[in-house]
Amino acid sequence: MISISSVSKSFGAGERRTVALDNVSLEVARGEMFGVVGQSGAGKSTLIRTVNLLERPDSGTITVDGVNLTALRAQELRIARQGIGMIFQHFNLLSSRTVQGNVELALEVIGRDPRERKRRAAEILDLVGLTAKAGSYPAQLSGGQKQRVGIARALAANPSVLLSDEATSALDPETTRSILELLRTINTELGLTVLLITHEMDVVKTVCDSAALLEGGRILEHGKLVELISTPGSRLARDLFPLGAVTVRPGTTVIDITFSGGNADRPVIAQLARDHSLDISILGAAIETIAGNQAGRTRLELPGTAQAHSAIISDLRAQGLLVEVVGGEAA
């Protein structure tokens, strides 16, 4: 649905030149909720703004729904953009227009007649739960309500793709949850492809099917979350289940066991202690629902070296569990 191929983008020239994107390639499947996560300055906002060519890349191609946007002339691009909605971090609402008027504006710009604008705005405000606020002005709304207006405006032209530029970073945790639930509902009920950028791993964890880690303008890793969870050394997987720093006592080995899918509800630790007569200490644990699947990571301390437990570790891996030795002598 969205294909970003070898895209590079820089700003400035000479010694002041800053590379925002460095040969970035990414594929987002139709109907997918895809998150791009990274810290400030990673290039996230530049990346999402290249998808609808608000920022034109220096090189590479952007294809949305089979159309190469980078090859279009200005008028063709304006038409193609009607199929791409965008939600902004700071709402960008017109203070002089009501909620209804802000949503209608998106349709006014593309030439829809007044009757159609009114009908569609009412329909989409009902979807985002703001029918009762249609006659209110932005100054009379809470932050969450303002963002719902922004979402309604982005959906007004019935797009097939929705871009979210840090849409929840200015909101409190409870409001963030409600907005993420709304985005997931929109994705499911309308079949929209959603590409969102964020610096918050909780956002990815809550709503995304797939994710990419962007750092210094480069994609370091990407994939479906259910697959990343079971990928050794994955930074995204590590951040999904943060267990803190590793502390190793002399004469012990510390391992992380990652559970996913059908492994999540098995009594693996109890069976391990019983079958091998081990005194096992649980140093940390995290269980989450990731992309609709229960998954988790547990950190265990085993007495002795990893070499002494190599058979046990191999057996756990044979059961389909991801086992990483994170402290002590490597197996």
As averages over each run of 10 residues, the pLDDT of the chain (331 residues) reads 96 89 96 94 94 95 95 93 91 93 92 93 95 96 94 94 90 91 92 93 90 95 89 86 85 87 71 82 85 83 84 85 80 45
Residue 135, classified by CB atoms within 10 Å of its CB into exposed (0-12), middle (13-18) or buried (19+), is exposed
| Rounded Cα–Cα distance for residues 64 and 80 (Å) | 9
pLDDT value of residue 278:
81
**Amino acid, res. 36:** V
Q: How far apart are the first and last CA of the chain?
A: 43
pLDDT value of residue 292:
75
Give me the helices (H) in the chain, please. Answer: 44-51, 74-80, 99-109, 114-127, 143-155, 173-190, 201-207, 225-228, 235-240, 268-276, 310-318
CB distance 183 to 164 below 8 Å: yes
Domain parsing of the chain, residue ranges: 2-224, 235-327
pLDDT value of residue 251:
85
pLDDT value of residue 331:
45
176, two tokens: 């963030």
The CATH architecture of the domain made up of 2-224 is 3-Layer(aba) Sandwich (3.40)
CB distance 214 to 44 below 8 Å: yes
pLDDT value of residue 318:
85
Domain 235-327: top CATH class:
alpha beta
